[in-house]
Amino acid sequence: MTLNTETETVVGVAHPLDPLSRAEISRAVSILKDGPAAAESFRFISVELREPSKETLRTGGETEREADSVLVDRAAGNAYEAIVNLDSGIVTSWKQLASGVQPPFMLDEFAEGEESCRKNPEVKAALAKRGITDMDLVCFEPWSVGYFGEDNEGRRLMRALVFVRQEPDDSPYAHPIENFIVIVDLNSGEVVEVEDDQAIPVPSASGNYLPKYVGPARTDLKPISITQPEGASFKVTGNHVQWADWSFRVGFTPREGLVLHQLRFQDQGVERPVINRASLSEMV
């Protein structure tokens, strides 16, 4: 099977469970931008393979390459789920999620949220009362949050814990600013609330482990050498792994992380299916 992107890149797919290639992700995004996600206010949270069903793979039925996508419209504050058929270039499903449902944060939103906190006059004034005036040394660490009441329902809120460095290379986690939390709307960039309770002295003890703080690494440890003179005991072909009597396919998703497919075991010459699909998150 081949897929043609806007740059006419040809993508070979060895197996229906292979994760989406870079070109396939670009194609899915392009199809959505040419369709319901045309507005500049849309941001893509994730684009991943829509896996064929177990039954289809078991019977060897024909499969199509499809992408599952999650998006946020920052202007309207709505979240969406979409399915894109990469073979036909058609958006086969476009669903707005219920109000209050928020997809995971993106890495760039962490940086944007921190910058919103750092520039906010109320935040700066509150920290100044605690004797903290150098905002370049303040670290706002964003965390996802739960329900904040009907007034904030549907907003994409981030709860920022606050720390301060004693110098640019200092570890901020040794110096938490207790009883001080900032709530930020990631869509609008607005600081919604500053929770400023009783001030507690910031711990001054260092938590640094860089060589310039603790000195050079020790030199009295003997080297460890791990070798396989006859080569590896496993074989990797694309995303397929064979190791001793085991075989499986490796995949990844943005939400679950590592995923193993079609885990099988050679039992005295008979290939036995053990697990059809297992994700790392299921171990937690």
Averaged pLDDT for residues 74-88? 95
CB contact at 8 A, 137 and 124: no
Q: Does residue 9 surpass a pLDDT of 50? A: no
Instruction: Report the Cα 76 to chain-centroid distance in Å.
Output: 23
15 is written with which tokens? 């197996």
39 is written with which tokens? 């507005």
- What is the domain class of 107-214 according to CATH? alpha beta
Residues 89-131 have pLDDT tens digits of 999 999 999 987 889 899 999 999 999 999 999 999 999 999 9
Distance of alpha carbon 91 from alpha carbon 42, whole angstroms:
16
Residues 150-207 have pLDDT tens digits of 677 778 899 999 999 999 999 999 999 999 999 999 999 999 999 999 999 999 998 9
Tokens 């709530």 -> residue: 183
The one-character DSSP state at 134 is -
CB contact at 8 A, 175 and 166: yes
Distance of alpha carbon 110 from alpha carbon 142, whole angstroms:
6
CB contact at 8 A, 120 and 180: no
Cα Rg, the chain, nearest whole Å: 25
According to the model, what pLDDT value does residue 11 have? 46
Closest by CA position to 263, among listed 253, 255, 284, 244: 244
Averaged pLDDT for residues 20-38? 97
Q: Domain 22-96, what fold?
A: Nuclear Transport Factor 2; Chain: A, (3.10.450)
| 167 phi/psi in degrees, rounded to 5 | -155, 165
Q: Where are the domains of the chain?
A: 22-96, 107-214, 234-283
Kindly report the pTM of this predicted structure: 0.82
62 is written with which tokens? 């024909």
According to the model, what pLDDT value does residue 5 have? 37
